[in-house]
Chain A
Amino acid sequence: MANIAAQRIKREFKEVIKSEEVAKCAIKLELIDDNYSELKGEIAGPPDTPYEGGNFVLEIKVPETYPFNPPKVKFLTKIWHPNISSVTGAICLDILKDQWAAAMTLRTVLLSLQALMAAAEPDDPQDAVVAKQYKENPEMFNSTARHWTNVYAGGPNKNPDFDQKIQRLTDMGVMSHDARVALSTYNWELERATEAIFT
Chain B
Amino acid sequence: MDFVSTGGGSLVDNIFLLFNAYDWWVYYSKKEEKNLAKKEREEKMYDQAFEEILFSLDETPIYADSGGDQHNDGRDTNEFGADFETLQGLECLNMEQAKNLLNEHVDQLSSKLHISPSLAKLFLHLNEWNVSAIVTAYSKHTNAFLVDNRVKLAATAALGASAIPSAAACTDILPLSPSSSTSKSSTNASSPISCPVCTHPLPGDHFRSLTCGHSFCQYCWARHFEVQINQGITLDISCMASQCNILVPEALILTLLRPSLHEKYEAFAFRDFVSTHPSLRFCPGPNCSVVMRARESKPKRATCNACGTSFCFQCGIEYHAPTDCVVIKKWLTKCADDSETANYISAHTKDCPKCHICIEKNGGCNHMQCYHCKHEFCWMCLGDWKQHGSEYYECSRYKENPNIGRESAHAQAREALKKYLHYYERWENHAKSLKLESALVDKIKSRIHSKVMTSSGTWIDWQYLIEASTLLAKCRYTLQYTYPYAYYMQSSVSHYYTVISHIIPTGTWIDWQYLIEASTLLAKCRYTLQYTYPYAYYMQSSVSHYYTVISHIIQQYTYPYAYYMESSVSHSRKELFEYQQAQLEAEIENLSWKVERAETTDRGDLENQMDIAEKRRITLLKDFHLSSFSNPTKLDIPPQGGTTVPISTKDSSTASIQSEGEGVRSASMAPLSS
Q: Give the distance in Å from the alpha carbon of A199 to the alpha carbon of B13 in the complex.
A: 12
Contact for B239 among A1, A99, A101, A199, CB less than 8 A:
A101
The answer to whether the Cβ of A108 comes within 8 Å of any Cβ in the partner chain is yes
* Beta-carbon contact of A65 and B243 below 8 Å: no
Given A1-B223, A65-B227, A103-B214, A8–B242 Cβ distance below 8 Å?
Answer: no
Q: How far is the CA of A65 from the CA of B197 in the complex (A)?
A: 12
Q: Which residues of B contact A108 (CB under 8 A)?
A: 242
Q: Is A170 an interface position by the 8 A CB rule?
A: no
Contacts A4-B198, A8-B198, A8-B199 given; does A103 touch B241 at CB 8 Å: yes
Taking the complex as formed, is A68 at the interface, i.e. its CB lies under 8 A from any CB of chain B? Answer: yes
Q: Which residues of B contact A67 (CB under 8 A)?
A: 197
Bound CA span A11–B200, Å: 11
Partner of B244, one of A4, A11, A68, A101: A101
The secondary-structure label for the interface of chain B is loop
Q: Are B227 and A69 in contact (CB under 8 A)?
A: yes
A101 B198 Cβ-Cβ under 8 A? no
A102 to B214, CA, bound (A): 12
Convert B172-208 into 0s and 1s, putting 1 for each residue whose CB lies closer than 8 angstroms to a CB of A. Answer: 0000000000000000000000001111100000000
Which residues of the partner chain A approach B196 to less than 8 Å between Cβ atoms? 103
Assess whether B674 is interfacial by the CB under 8 Å rule: no
Q: Contacts A8-B197, A8-B199 hold; do A101 and B223 have CB atoms under 8 A apart? A: no
What residue in chain A is nearest B214 (Cβ atoms)?
A: A103
Question: Mask for A60-103, Cβ within 8 A of B = 1, else 0?
Answer: 00000101110000000000000000000000000000010111
Task: Assess whether A7 is in contact with B10, with CB atoms less than 8 Å apart.
Answer: no
Among A8, A69, A103, A199, the residue within 8 A (CB) of B10 is: A199
CA distance A8 to B226 in the complex (A): 18
Smallest CB-CB separation from B226: which chain A residue? A68
Give the distance to chain B from A36, nearest Cβ to Cβ, in Å.
13
Q: How far is the CA of A101 from the CA of B240 in the complex (A)?
A: 5
Q: Is residue B495 contacting chain A, with contact meaning CB distance below 8 A? A: no
A68 pairs with B242, CB closer than 8 A: no
A186 to chain B, nearest CB (A): 11
- Give chain A residues whose Cβ lies under 8 Å from the Cβ of B10: 199
CA distance A77 to B672 in the complex (A): 60
CB distance from A67 to the nearest CB of B (A): 6
Assess whether A104 is interfacial by the CB under 8 Å rule.
yes
Interface size counted on chain A using CB atoms at 8 A: 16
Partner of A101, one of B199, B200, B227, B243: B243
Q: Chain B contacts of A11 at CB under 8 A?
A: 199
Of A4, A101, A108, most B-chain CB atoms within 10 Å: A101
B220 within 8 A of A: yes
In the assembled complex, the Cα of A183 lies from the Cα of B450 at a distance in Å of 75
Q: Which residues of A contact B216 (CB under 8 A)?
A: 102-103
Does B224 have its Cβ within 8 Å of any Cβ on chain A? yes
B103 to chain A, nearest CB (A): 30
Q: Please indicate the chain A residues that have their CB under 8 angstroms from the CB of B242 in the complex.
A: 101, 103-104, 108
Closest to B243 in A: A101
B227 touches which of A68, A99, A103, A104 (Cβ 8 Å): A68
Give chain B residues whose Cβ lies under 8 Å from the Cβ of A4: 197-198, 220, 223
For residue A109, give the distance in angstroms from its CB to the closest CB of chain B: 11
Query: Measured between alpha carbons, how far is A67 from B228 in the docked complex, in Å?
Result: 12
Q: How far is the CB of B258 from chain A (nearest CB, A)?
A: 12
Closest-CB distance, A191 to chain B (whole angstroms): 16
**Which chain A residues border B198 with CB–CB below 8 Å?**
4, 7-8
For the complex, what is the distance from the CA of A104 to the CA of B241, rounded to whole Å?
7
B238: chain A residues at CB < 8 Å are 101
Q: Which residues of B contact A1 (CB under 8 A)?
A: 223
Residues of B within 8 A of A69 (CB): 227
Q: Knowing that A65-B223, A101-B241 are A-B contacts, what are 15 other residue pairs whose CB atoms are under 8 Å apart, sorted by A's residue number?
A: A4-B197, A4-B220, A4-B223, A7-B198, A7-B199, A68-B227, A101-B239, A101-B240, A102-B220, A102-B224, A103-B196, A103-B214, A103-B216, A103-B242, A108-B242
Q: Which 7 A-B pairs have the closest CB atoms?
A: A102-B240, A68-B227, A101-B242, A102-B197, A103-B241, A11-B199, A104-B242
